[in-house]
Chain A
Amino acid sequence: MESITFTETPFVRKKKRTEALAKLIFFLMALSMIIPLVMIIAYLVVQAWPILSIDFLLENPANRMRAGGVWAPLLGTIYLVVISLLVSAPIGVLAAVYLNEYATDNWFTRIINLAVVNLAGVPSIVHALFGLGAFVLFAGIGRSILAASLTLAIMTLPVIIASTKEALASVPMPFRTACWNVGATRWQTIRTIVLPNSISGILTGIILQVSRAAGETAPIMFTGAVFFKALKDDGLFAYNLLDQCMALSMHLFTISTQVPDVPHALPYGTAVVLMAIVLLTNGLSIAFRVYLRSRKRW
């Protein structure tokens, strides 16, 4: 009987080499994602080091923005982000629930879905012009925190709808049929099964929009953010909804390009604060997800 050796043929050896090479390339690409992030953060922090302190956070810009801290813009950014999400998150989540759980597949829902996808891809400067036209001029709100927040809300809404829909769609269909077959209405099904099993995905989608809303300059520049604004006091409620406000992203732009003789560390310090907000919210979203997942035993 002829015996078998199971040794490598040259072809197999070649395949193995290709395999190893492919793996290396993919690994390097993955690594190259981290390197810029680490380098950016390191660079910013090193450049900003002399100025970083709690006071930098809590002091207002002073001496025509050549000294002081970032309190007014920081507070402005918080206002803009919170108000815009208070608008877009509930609308977005409810709309997504409708689209995923109630809507039947007809031309109307197809148009809505198409609109969502396309709106999510519209550049932010276009949202800015829309906000200027719709809220500032047409609705007569004027340039204000409210108008800017609404513009940001319009910008984040389609993405929240899309991410929420995805989270809802990931809940297995048999969970729903199980509920329907014990006579649950659609809403009971959503409340008892669909939302509890998708809430962490929904929240992650929303929180990712925090960093987007905090980082964008264009939509707020036309609609409510200003270069400089003196706050009336130090409290958390120093801005009024119809006031204009400063914002970190805009402030960074101003002090890096519009104001001469700014101390070197100041823009870098501002950038670090902005980065910190983004990283902090992303970190929070991860922690929250882990927490929800650990609790989902109910």
Chain B
Amino acid sequence: MNAEERRLLVLEGVRAAYGAVPVLHDVTLHVDRGEIVTLIGANGAGKSTLLMTLFGQPRATAGRILFSGQEMTALPTHRIARLGIAQVPEGRRIFPAMTVEENLILGITPLTAREQEDPGLRAALLEHVRSLFPRLWERHRQRAGTLSGGEQQMLAIGRALMSRPRLLLLDEPSLGLAPLLIRQLFAVLRRIAAEGTTIFLVEQNANQALRIADRGYVLVNGRIQMEGVAADLLADGHVRQAYLGGH
């Protein structure tokens, strides 16, 4: 495979804005098949906006977004999931009034009608989530709104995995979780990656993120300011000082 074939996600000079307020300026980055890539940056840098722009919410005002070589910049939001991209958005956005199981089943929407009707496939996908998050599954008949923060995060990840995405986007999944849960979460992300899913991980928890990532990007005020191999970024004095709390 040459470099071009390896690229799963490519952003070229992407700009985005809320109304007249620009947030992203000429963002260029890529994620290769099988990689874990992390995007770190301070609060308000535009990380969440970048993930949402991939889904056209808001839509990029300039530049191109390609998935597996196919241009998706102007695709309607609901069509993008069908390409094989799933997002665990900021704030989890689970459906609180539905049961855990219903939330998970909603995750299969991007599959073809035929796949969605296949009870064997559905059972296998649910079983996969259950193997990743056994404690979550114990509550599968419970309303999702009654779950703890950690369980809701597991649910949001499980829901995203139900469509067997090729690319999994996560927006600060560790936010608000206790240290023990954060360790478990990153272990699960490693396992998901080992099973063949490419991961693009947005984190303020840069230390942990860079430890499991292959490469990283640093976003400052809507611009990519630094990029490199995760271990190099982890060792970089600048990054340490700005995003790793100095230790």
Answer yes or no: are A and B bound together in one complex. Answer: no
